[in-house]
C-alpha cells in the first residue's frame, strides 16, 4: 500500500501492506513474524478455513550498501517466517499473480525498479530445525539525473572554475592561487555536507572517490600556481611561462 521514507542512518523504512495466506488443505495455526523488522500494528481482515488476510504496519530493516552512492540501488526485503511451524508442517509458496504494488505507491527520493518473490529454507543448524521463509525483495534506485545534479554537479562547477582560472595571465598568478585555494575550501565543505547524508561507513563511495580525485587536482593546481608565483617574484618570468604553458593544457 505504501512505503515511508528510507532512513539510511537507521537503516529502516516504514511499510503498510496486506499479507494473505491461501491454504490448499486448510490453514494451520500460523503465527508469523517479520525476520528483518518488526510489526508495529496488525489487523486481521479476513479469516476462513483456507484463507487468512492481514493488514500490517511494519518497520523494515533493509541491508544498506552505499558503495555506489549517489547512484546506489537498494533492496528492501520483507522476510516472513513462522515462529513455530517447521518446513514439514508449513511451506510458503509465492503467488506472484496476487503480489504487487498500489498505483499510487511512492518512496520519497527513490524510484521502484521492480520486485521478486521467492521461498527459501532457513536452517537453524544448532537447533536442528528448518523453517520455510517467504522473501519479497523490492528494488529501489535513485533517479540518475537528480543524483548527479544534487551531488556531482557542484564538483563539476568547481573543476570548471579552477580550469578557467588558467586563462589569467602568468603575472597575476596570485589571483589564480586564491581561486584554487577558495575552491579547495569549498570542496571540503561540500564533501562534509554530502558525507553527512550517509551513516558512518567503512568503505569509500563513488562520491568519496570523485572528491579524492578533485582534491588531488586542486592540490596540484595550488602547487603549480605557487611555484609560478615564486618564479615571478624572483623575476624568472620565462621559466614561469614555460610551467604555465605546460600545466594549462
At the topology level, CATH places domain 2-142 in Acetylcholine Binding Protein; Chain: A, (2.70.170)
pLDDT in tens, 2-26: 777 887 777 888 888 888 888 887 8
Respond yes or no on whether the N-terminal peptide bond of residue 35 is cis (omega within 30° of 0). Answer: no
DSSP state of 151: I
Contact 240/231 with Cβ under 8 angstroms? yes
Contact 133/79 with Cβ under 8 angstroms? yes
State the pLDDT at residue 48.
Answer: 86
For the chain, give every residue range classified as CATH 2.70.170.10. Answer: 2-142
Contact 35/124 with Cβ under 8 angstroms? no
Locate 36 and state its grid cell.
Answer: 528483518
pLDDT category, 70, cuts 50, 70, 90? confident
pLDDT in tens, 218-240: 888 888 777 777 666 666 666 66
At the topology level, CATH places domain 145-247 in Methane Monooxygenase Hydroxylase; Chain G, domain 1 (1.20.58)
- 46-55, 66-75, 150-159, 232-241, range with the lowest pLDDT: 232-241
State the pLDDT at residue 243.
Answer: 61
pLDDT (average), residues 79-85: 90
Q: Residue 183 is inside which H or E element, if any?
A: helix 173-195
State the pLDDT at residue 249.
Answer: 53
Instruction: Spell 30-68 as b/e; 16+ CB within 10 A means b.
Output: eebebbbbeeeeeeeeeeeeeebebebbbbbbbebebee
For the chain, give every residue range classified as CATH 1.20.58.390. Answer: 145-247
Distance between CA 6 and CA 139 in Å, rounded?
12
DSSP state of 37: E
Amino acid at each position: 500500500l505504501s512505503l515511508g521514507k528510507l532512513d539510511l542512518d537507521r537503516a529502516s523504512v516504514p511499510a503498510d501492506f496486506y499479507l494473505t495466506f491461501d491454504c490448499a488443505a486448510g490453514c494451520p495455526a500460523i503465527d508469523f513474524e517479520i525476520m528483518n523488522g518488526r510489526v508495529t500494528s496488525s489487523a486481521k481482515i479476513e479469516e476462513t478455513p483456507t484463507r487468512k488476510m492481514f493488514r500490517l504496519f511494519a518497520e523494515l530493516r533493509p541491508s544498506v550498501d552505499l558503495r555506489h552512492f549517489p547512484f546506489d540501488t537498494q533492496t528492501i526485503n520483507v522476510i516472513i517466517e513462522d515462529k513455530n511451524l517447521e518446513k514439514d508442517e508449513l511451506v510458503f509458496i509465492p503467488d506472484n499473480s496476487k503480489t504487487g504494488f498500489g498505483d499510487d505507491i511512492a518512496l520519497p527520493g527513490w524510484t521502484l525498479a521492480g520486485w521478486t518473490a521467492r521461498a527459501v529454507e532457513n536452517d537453524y543448524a544448532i537447533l536442528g530445525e528448518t523453517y520455510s521463509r517467504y522473501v519479497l525483495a523490492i528494488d529501489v534506485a535513485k533517479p540518475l539525473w537528480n543524483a548527479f545534479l544534487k551531488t556531482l554537479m557542484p564538483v563539476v562547477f568547481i573543476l570548471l572554475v579552477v580550469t578557467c582560472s588558467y586563462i589569467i595571465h602568468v603575472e597575476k598568478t596570485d589571483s589564480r592561487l586564491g581561486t584554487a585555494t577558495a575552491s579547495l575550501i569549498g570542496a571540503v565543505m561540500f564533501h562534509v555536507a554530502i558525507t553527512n547524508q550517509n551513516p558512518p561507513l567503512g568503505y569509500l563511495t563513488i562520491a568519496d572517490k570523485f572528491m579524492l580525485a578533485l582534491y588531488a587536482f586542486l592540490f596540484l593546481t595550488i602547487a603549480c600556481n605557487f611555484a609560478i608565483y615564486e618564479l615571478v617574484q624572483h623575476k624568472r618570468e620565462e621559466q614561469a611561462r614555460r610551467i604555465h604553458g605546460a600545466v594549462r593544457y
